[in-house]
Amino acid sequence: MDSHGQSEQQVAWTVVVTDIGPLLLAATRDGLVNVVFHATDAVRDKALDRLAARLGARPVEDPDSPLLAEAIRQVAAYFAGERHDFELPLDWSLITGFNRQVLRELASGVPFGTVVGYGDLAGRVGQPGAAQAVGMAMGSNPLPVVVPCHRVVESDGGIGGFGGGLETKRKLLALEGVLPEPLF
């Protein structure tokens, strides 16, 4: 509690090493709140500043935090090929409206080893024709990998865009058996 009797937001973070590079994981009491690709020092610092501004609390590095323990375990198991589904509490406070609706549908309705088109996902949330808006929602996903925006592709067979970079998207889809492993 702070001096005004309000519960202070607690945000714990750590960086984990994965096959696609370092990922920053951040969690609140409500669940995993942010996953950030390519978490070099500069990227990490910028992400932590954004989190502090959005959540009203400075994130604290704490790799041993109980808030992060299960997320760390499940991310490691996913990249080891031992886990296909994340079963984590998620804090959706960084995203609202249509974007939240699309990401929730993605998380619950597009399983490991499958893909969905941007337009198809728009239709699933009752907004046929909103493929571009779905693309924007994917780009604003605060929980990539766990909320699998890498599984959203173009309807013509193209891989589509990806905030973590196309090579990262290819590696994630290869891990899930959707694409062959890159040759080099």
Residues assigned a catalytic role: 149
Q: What CA–CA distance (Å, rounded) separates 29 from 82?
A: 26
Which SS3 state, helix, strand or coil, does residue 31 take? Answer: strand
Q: What amino acid is encoded at 104 in this protein?
A: R
Q: Say how far apart CA 119 and CA 43 lie, in whole Å.
A: 31
Distance CA 118, CA 136 (A): 10
Between helix 97-109 and helix 131-139 the angle, nearest 10°, is 90
Q: How far is CA 111 from CA 8, 59, 67, in A?
A: 36, 31, 25
